[in-house]
Structure 1
Amino acid sequence: MTSTSRTLYLFGSAAPPIFDVAKVIEDAQADGWDVCLGLTPTAARWLDESLDGLAALTGHPVRSEYKLPGQPDVWPKADVIVFAPATFNSINSWALGLTASFVVGVVAEGIGKGIPTVTMPCVNAAYAQHRQLGRSIAELREQGVTVLYGEGGFMPNPPGSGKPKAYPWDVALHSARKLADRT
């Protein structure tokens, strides 16, 4: 890891691009970020065999659950949060304030704390037709979250035809850098 002065919370849901998260961490570290990785419980299950290696890569424990009362916080404070890939469930839960999962709870609270936050959904075109997704994206944008969806961000694919290697991680990291440069 390089010498860092900015902390990035990199959060991810269970969508196929999450399997590339080690490369994303390396790219963020090369850009000077100290990265803390948080996952939804299902994403953590998907990456179970890689969690120790990801913790070694970041230098921080990978988190997918809330800490117990009285336990110390093991991460430094975030300068910016990137939540990508963010699934249909995560986006809607966040916008509605349903914080059963650790990462959704942190980003929901992050709005109130004024932590600059970027999210990039990863949904198929069938989910994109559900009216709640549009409402949730609008709600998050109204609360100051940078939502990378549509032109210049993530574009949905037909169900079953996803292109996880084409997920625009670089757009999310570039947006995080821009937000950090403003603060």
Structure 2
Amino acid sequence: MTEPDEKPFLHVVVCAAAVAADVGELIAAAQRRGWEVGVIATPVAMGGFFDVAAVEAQTRRPVRSAWRTPGDARPFPPPDAVVVAPATFNTVNKWAAGLGDTLAVATLCEAYGLGVPVVALPCVADALAAHPAYNDSLIRLRGMGVRFGDLPSGEEGRRAFGWERALDLLDR
């Protein structure tokens, strides 16, 4: 998808979890590794889970959360890869079911059809992760080729969220 003299383009999908406040760490790491980055957030994540203005300054692109109108230019090039981090219970389940009711989830659903690598770093409470629908969703998404970062659960997982692990999984 990327021309030889262009940097590859990474779509970062951000969901509403407390660790989203640190998404700039993922963006900075991706930029150090030669990626251009565009951020697509769930509508709830846009409501204060991360600093939208800081992310826009860091990426030099608007943060997207709503569909563009037919006459609007595409603000991002097609992705060479997609990372969803943090990936919440709601997003994982909707994505696996193919319910693209937000731009963020529709982007994840579309990535499969584009054949681009997708990495997910879940941030799901233990009680929600115990729900059988979540496990079924992980099985389906893994079957679609999604690479998951295995992160510590609970409070330890929130303190040690492995942003760069997403990029390591893209490199393999």
Task: Tell me if both proteins adopt one fold, taking TM over 0.5 as the criterion.
Answer: yes
Hey, what does 1:46 align to over in structure 2? Answer: 48
CA distance in 2 between partners of 1:111 and 1:128 (Å): 23
Contact 1:124 1:162 in 2 (8 A): no
Hey, what does 2:34 align to over in structure 1? Answer: 32
What CA deviation, in whole Å up to 9, does each residue of 1:30-66 have, x standing for no partner?
Answer: 1111011111111111247x22221121011111111
Contact 2:31 2:37 in 1 (8 A): yes
**Does 1:175 find its partner at 2:169?**
yes
Contact 2:17 2:49 in 1 (8 A): no
Contact 1:13 1:84 in 2 (8 A): yes
Contact 2:16 2:49 in 1 (8 A): no
Identity of aligned residues (%): 34
Cα displacement (A) at 1:101: 1.1
**Does 1:155 find its partner at 2:152?**
yes
Q: Which runs of 5+ in 1 are unaligned?
A: 179-183
**Does 1:91 find its partner at 2:92?**
yes
Letter in 2 for 1:171: R
Letter in 2 for 1:80: A
Letter in 2 for 1:54: V
Q: Helix, strand or coil: the match of 1:67?
A: coil
CA distance in 2 between partners of 1:70 and 1:87 (Å): 32
CA distance in 2 between partners of 1:156 and 1:132 (Å): 18
Q: Which runs of 5+ in 2 are unaligned?
A: none
Hey, what does 1:181 align to over in structure 2? Answer: none
Contact 1:14 1:43 in 2 (8 A): yes
CA distance in 1 between partners of 2:6 and 2:160 (Å): 28
Hey, what does 1:124 align to over in structure 2? Answer: 125
**Does 1:75 find its partner at 2:69?**
no
Cα displacement (A) at 1:93: 0.3
Q: Write the mapping of 1:10-29 to structure 2, written as runs, cut at 5 A.
A: 10-29=12-31
Hey, what does 1:137 align to over in structure 2? Answer: 138
Letter in 2 for 1:129: A
RMSD of equivalent CA atoms: 1.6
CA distance in 2 between partners of 1:64 and 1:94 (Å): 16
Hey, what does 2:158 align to over in structure 1? Answer: 164
The verdict on how the C-alpha distance between 1:26 and 1:4 changes in structure 2, with shifts beyond 3 A counting, is farther
